[in-house]
Amino acid sequence: MIDIKQDEKLSVINHSCAHMMAQAVKRLYPQTKFWVGPVVSEGFYYDMDLGDAVIRDEDLEKIEKEMKKIAKDGKRIVREELSKADALALFHDDPYKLDLIEGLEDGEITVYRQGEFVDLCRGPHVESVKQLKHFKLLKHSGAYWKGDANNRVLQRVYGICFESKEALEEHLYALEEAKKRDHKKLGKEMELFMMSEYAPGMPFLLPNGMIIRNILEQFWYEEHTKEHYQFIKTPIMMSRELWEVSGHWDNYKENMYTSEVDDREFAIKPMNCPGSMLVYKNGLHSYKDLPIRMGELGQVHRHEASGALNGLFRVRTFTQDDAHIFMRPDQIESEVVGVIRLIDRIYSIFGLQYDIELSTRPKEKYIGSIEIWDRSEKALADACKAAGKDYKINEGDGAFYGPKLDIHIKDSLGRVWQCGTIQLDMNLPERFDLTYVDHDGKKVRPVMLHRVVFGSVERFIGILIEHYAGKFPLWLAPQQVAVVPVHWEKHIDYANEVQNLLSAAGFRSKLDARNEKLGYRIREAQIRKVPLQVVVGDGECENRSVTLRRLGSKDSLNMPLDEFMELLQREVEEKR
């Protein structure tokens, strides 16, 4: 799905449509006062104070009807420049606009007028409201004024607008499809994970979800072993002194969970990096030892605001698939190329396309010399080219301690997720006094690379649930096969033989011999999103065969049992 903020033309259309919505609301609720109506990735919204009135679901259609009248009327949208005094006079009865105007300087104040409606705004806007015919109001909610819980709750209405009816319909279809794929809904239906008020924002993985997690982690270890990574496990809680050295105590403490043990302050780790620094410092290193690729599936805890929590996507504890690579300066390009190729290989297994964004030196707050930054940015850019990958520049968005490559994956609905990251770090090697002995016998600083592929294992599972709509490929599915005998008395012995053979070979299979009709049991296996249903009846028993039906298909295929076993083994090994 499209990101409205990334499209300049759609951003203007949606901001103009926010004004048109506000005009419609003002007509229907004349007492309304308005705060702000920005463009967001999903379209637009407007925060409004309707006094004692409350917008409900059924009111959105009423507002849309008024918006259509406004668009049909076709008034021009006119820009006007005002002095601060004139602006204060114009909005004298709207405390929210007066608050905004107080922060503006003379010569910077503009309003946009369409018919009887005028709104404080920098713009730009479309020329006429008749360009805003293809819109939809999506939802409404409450929002504190200025995001402060001590302030009044305003009513927020969300919407979206496109240039054509076809584009709007295509987007609305994608939204409906996204609702069906909601990982929270499917996670409950498929018994993958649960949440509890006893641990807000901390997911409980259920047996089916744990199967997926274990397979993903095994896959992660196998792929990283091929690339000669070493694996470590560092403590989940470490002392305040460590976090002071790393800088987290001064810059991140409000997001950390702390405790006191034996009169010392400790913190549960929000990041794995400091532990890896200690592991590196545990021994002496020569230039011949580098690169050292150190991987850790480390559980971290971060205090997120309760209102931001969202299933597996935004949590307070998760497993980061971290790795830290310690290397010489001359190894930067080759190591980054290696990470890109590893990411490429892993994402391709899941059918995930991706784009790369190179974030460069911030304009103000950064450490290290400009020369080092230029060299580091060039190394990342050259690595992308050497790996045969295009990239976009995200000017000035690097961390203060180094440039980075952000990997944005695209799922089956076209939605973009930021998962992988490759980050050069000039900060922690200095803070922790990391060294290696170069060929001249001198101690020098290694270059350090942070990188993740999944990002958060839990979040990646959530993305995969929605990417596959719960229909996991055979190698990942919690239950791979449902064995369904036609009749209990006649076919149960052979069905048990098939089930035992599957279990002995390591396949996740279940026998469904309940006293229910065959069609009912097959449908139920499909509802549970089991990839393969195996039916055994008279012919299968006589010929030692199975009739195979795949999830989502009405066709069936009969094949010898031994061929079926070979087919399963091949599909799992090839991760189709």
Write out the chain's pLDDT in tens, 576 residues.
678 888 999 999 999 999 999 999 999 999 999 999 999 989 999 999 999 999 999 999 999 999 999 999 999 999 999 999 999 999 999 999 999 998 888 878 999 999 999 999 988 999 999 999 999 999 999 999 988 889 999 999 999 999 999 999 999 998 899 899 999 999 999 999 999 999 999 999 999 999 999 999 999 999 999 999 999 999 999 999 999 999 899 888 999 999 999 999 999 999 999 999 999 999 999 999 999 999 999 999 999 988 889 999 999 999 999 999 999 999 999 999 999 999 999 999 999 999 999 999 988 888 778 888 888 899 999 999 999 999 999 999 888 888 999 999 999 888 889 999 999 988 899 999 999 999 999 999 999 999 999 999 999 999 999 999 999 999 999 999 999 999 988 999 999 999 999 999 999 999 999 999 999 999 999 999 999 999 999 999 999 999 999 998 889 999 999 999 999 999 999 997
SS3 content of the chain, % helix, strand, coil (to 5): 40, 25, 30
**Is the Cα dihedral 428, 434, 435, 436 positive or negative?**
negative
| The pLDDT of residue 227 | 97
pLDDT at 164: 95
- Check residue 1 and give its pLDDT: 65
CB atoms within 10 A of CB 419: 22
Query: Using an 8 Å Cβ cutoff, are 300 and 269 in contact?
Result: yes
Calpha distance 230→294 (Å, rounded): 5
Do the Cβ atoms of 159 and 137 come closer than 8 Å? yes
Pairing state between β 404-410 and 353-359: antiparallel
pLDDT of residue 264: 95
Taking the chain, what is the end-to-end CA distance rounded to the nearest angstrom?
A: 25
What is the DSSP-derived secondary structure letter of residue 310?
Answer: B
SS3 (DSSP) at 203: coil
* Catalytic positions, written as ranges: 273, 302, 320, 322, 324, 404, 450
Q: 441's torsion region: left (phi>0), alpha (psi -120 to 50) or beta?
A: left
Three-class secondary structure of residue 43 per DSSP: strand
Helix 488-504 / helix 561-574 crossing angle, nearest 10 deg: 40
Q: What gap in Å lies between CA 454 and CA 409, rounded to an integer?
A: 10
DSSP H helical segments within 105-239, as ranges? 165-180, 183-189, 207-226
The set of residues, in sequence order, having a beta carbon less than 8 Å from that of 19 and lying 6+ positions away, is: 37, 77, 112, 114, 117, 119, 121, 125
Cα separation, 224 vs 231, in Å, equals 9
How far is the C-alpha of 123 from the C-alpha of 110, rounded, in Å?
8
Name the helix (H) or strand (E) containing 155: strand 153-162
Q: Which residues contact residue 489 at a Cβ distance below 8 angstroms, ignoring those fewer than 6 apart?
A: none
3-state secondary structure of 462: helix
* pTM, two decimal places: 0.85
Secondary structure of residue 233 in the 3-state scheme:
coil
The radius of gyration of the chain's CA atoms, rounded to the nearest angstrom, is 29
Long-range contacts of 28-34 (CB under 8 A, 24+ apart): 28/62, 28/63, 28/66, 29/53, 33/93, 33/94, 33/95, 33/96, 33/97, 34/94, 34/96, 34/97, 34/119
Q: What is the pLDDT of residue 376?
A: 87
Per-residue buried b or exposed e for 68-106, using 16+ beta carbons within 10 Å of the residue's own CB: eebbeeebebeeeebeeeebeebbeebebbeebbeeeee
Chain Cα centroid distance, residue 176: 19
346 close to 460: Cβ distance less than 8 angstroms: no
Tokens of 180: 């069906």
